[in-house]
Amino acid sequence: MLQDDTRSEVSLRINGVDRTVGVDNRATLLDTLREGLGLTGAKKGCDHGQCGACTVLLDGRRVNSCLQLAVAADGGEVVTIEGVAGLEGGGDLHALQRAFLEHDALQCGYCTPGQICSALGAMAEAERGWPSHVTGDTSAGVAGAASLDAYEVRERMSGNICRCGAYGGIVAAVLEVAEADGGRS
Amino acid sequence: MRPFAYERAEDPAEAAALVAERPDAAFLAGGTNLVDLMKLGVAGPGTLVDVRRLGYDRVEHRDDGGVLIGATVKNSELAGDPGIRRRFPALSRAILAGASGQLRSAATTAGNLLQRTRCVYFQDVTKPCNKREPGSGCPAIGGSHRDLAVLGTSDHCVATYPGDMAVALAALDALVHVRGLDGEARALPLEDLYVLPGDTPHRETVLERGDLITGVELPAAPAGAAMHYRKVRDRWSYAFALVSVAAVLRTAGDGTIDEVRLALGGVAPRPWRARTAESELIGKLPTPENVQAAMGAELAGARPLPDNAFKLDLATDLVGAVLRDLTEPEEDR
Ligand SMILES: Cc1cc2nc3c(=O)[nH]c(=O)nc-3n(C[C@H](O)[C@H](O)[C@H](O)COP(=O)(O)OP(=O)(O)OC[C@H]3O[C@@H](n4cnc5c(N)ncnc54)[C@H](O)[C@@H]3O)c2cc1C
Ligand code: SF4
Ligand code: FES
Ligand code: FES
């Protein structure tokens, strides 16, 4: 029931399921996921685009869900940490989640959902050949996610802060999955 | 945050009409600056008119080597575009030097151009600030101004334009395409989009209410020229520029400078085209002494403050380094 023009009904496909929810236009995608839809995987660190804890995939691209308005995402397709295993068509965990466990890529785990969604976005960008700031030849770009080194992964993941400093493990986990198959699985 | 209505415009006429009807309406693109400022209470539009479905989402390369970049093209798509990487690598580099992967995949061309200053007082509604609240004063001048401007400032405001992309665009002689409320299209040089603070620091651009940026046009890069973008910041990644430099350079057979375009970021209220330094350098070798002299002339009118005077030497050194990058192959350095 929409009382006035400051509220909206928003339809999103979230982790493969169609959901419709009434929102105050001021609600961010992050707050809508966490409070309106019970998907508390994406975390709120700074609420200002500075930490990356809220990173989700929106229409296949990684975004800070704290700076996206839910109403503006209407009609979009969202993947949160709750849905990444489903990207591989079942199984309990995505290869990247398993790699995070194997490489001790977390301590408190608060940044982890954002790290994983961000890494999936970053690998997809590399698969398109997109260079980063540290790519030597901007014009040539990179030859897929499998070609990334630790230096590249660190730069591409710099939008995700880890207060526990688990960066070593995070980079190792991303590299392992990127090298395996470009992160597509 | 103030409650607001949300409208998703389907064509530019509708977007303009929506803004015309509502004086406190604002355009929404990627939202990465505007939504942030709304949360902080710095911005409080009564209506958001979403421009992302207006069809300005393509990068069109022309046969003459120029390009028209749509206003709503994502920063990540633009930096990744193969034609941009090949013809205008400094533009890709500038975009990739800014923000983070996830911010760039939401941010748009026009939104990036119009991002507001990161001056801490501007972002804090409990503090005075002439830009946010005309006449309230400028605490930055006697306070925290290390990151702020040394060129083009006034006694009323010393804010910096914080962006990277526009600095490269300034060096590339970009034109900004604007559609007025009446549907009239016009194009202006990127440098003319921004106005210096003077005694009206709340006015940052020449845009009038309802003016919609539809795209950015780049003429072909000069034949035989090389280009580069470098940024100095407090940490290796994910930080705003202290100083940045975009350069386009062509040298003659004897190494003297035929054509040079220099734009500085992080030092002024707008991307700063260093035209004085450019004309000083024409016909000369890009030696450290010549760069020093040219930048000395460029910065003669600078108004450094105690904590940001370091930017003058930094800008000079960075211009020298970028010109060296463009003239000396890496193995010779
Ligand atoms: C943590 C953080 C770090 C950052 N670091 C950097 C950095 O290092 N370098 C850098 O350059 N930037 C940086 N940014 C800023 C970022 O680049 C901008 O927020 C982004 O480019 C804005 O684009 P947007 O599409 O999201 O704009 P929005 O936030 O949607 O809009 C910005 C402004 O543009 C107006 N607008 C949008 N589209 C149009 C149009 N078509 N016509 C007229 N007006 C329009 C809006 O009304 C608004 O006033 C950073 C941001 C954050 C949050
Ligand atoms: S420098 Fe400009 S933006 Fe910063 S406090 Fe002074 S008036 Fe405000
Ligand atoms: S909560 Fe969104 S970036 Fe920190
Ligand atoms: S694991 Fe604790 S913040 Fe990253």
Global pTM? 0.97
CB atoms within 10 A of CB B164: 27
Does domain B1-50 correspond to CATH entry 3.40.50.880?
A: no
A160 DSSP assignment: -
> Checking phi first, is residue B76 left (phi over 0); if not, alpha (psi -120 to 50) or beta?
alpha
**What is the dihedral angle through the alpha carbons of B173, B174, B179, B184, rounded to the nearest 10 degrees?**
30
- Select from 2.102.10.10, 3.40.50.300, 3.30.390.50, 3.30.420.10 the CATH code of B226-332: 3.30.390.50
Helix (H, G, I), strand (E, B) or coil at A125: helix
Structural domain boundaries in chain B: 1-50, 226-332
Interface of B with A (CB under 8 A): 1, 3-6, 8, 28, 30-32, 35-36, 38-39, 48, 50, 52, 74, 76, 79-80, 82, 85-86, 89, 92-93, 96-97, 99-103, 105-106, 236-238
Domains of chain A, CATH where assigned:
7-83 (3.10.20.30), 87-180 (1.10.150.120)
Q: Is the C-beta atom of A161 inside 6 A of ligand 4?
A: no
Q: What is the pLDDT of residue A118?
A: 98
A63-73 pLDDT tens trace: 999 999 999 99
Q: Is the C-beta atom of A128 inside 6 A of ligand 4?
A: no
CA distance linking residue A120 with residue A117, whole number of Å:
5
Residues B57, B70: contact at Cβ < 8 Å?
yes
Instruction: Report, as ranges of residue numbers, the positions in chain A whose pLDDT lies below 50.
Output: 1-2
Residues A53, A45: contact at Cβ < 8 Å?
yes
Q: What is the pLDDT of residue A180?
A: 77
ipTM: 0.96
CA B5 – ligand 4 centroid, Å: 37
Contacts of B24 in chain A (CB under 8 A): none
CA A69 – ligand 1 centroid, Å: 15
Q: Is the C-beta atom of B157 inside 6 A of ligand 2?
A: yes
Cβ partners under 8 Å of residue B34, min gap 6: B26, B28, B43, B45, B48, B111
For the cut 70, the answer to whether the pLDDT of residue B333 exceeds it is no
CA quadruple A117, A121, A122, A124: dihedral sign: positive
CA distance linking residue B271 with residue B286, whole number of Å:
22
Do B226-332 and B1-50 have the same topology in CATH? no
A104-130 pLDDT tens trace: 999 999 999 999 999 999 999 999 999
What are the φ and ψ backbone dihedral angles of A28, each rounded to 5 degrees?
-80, 165
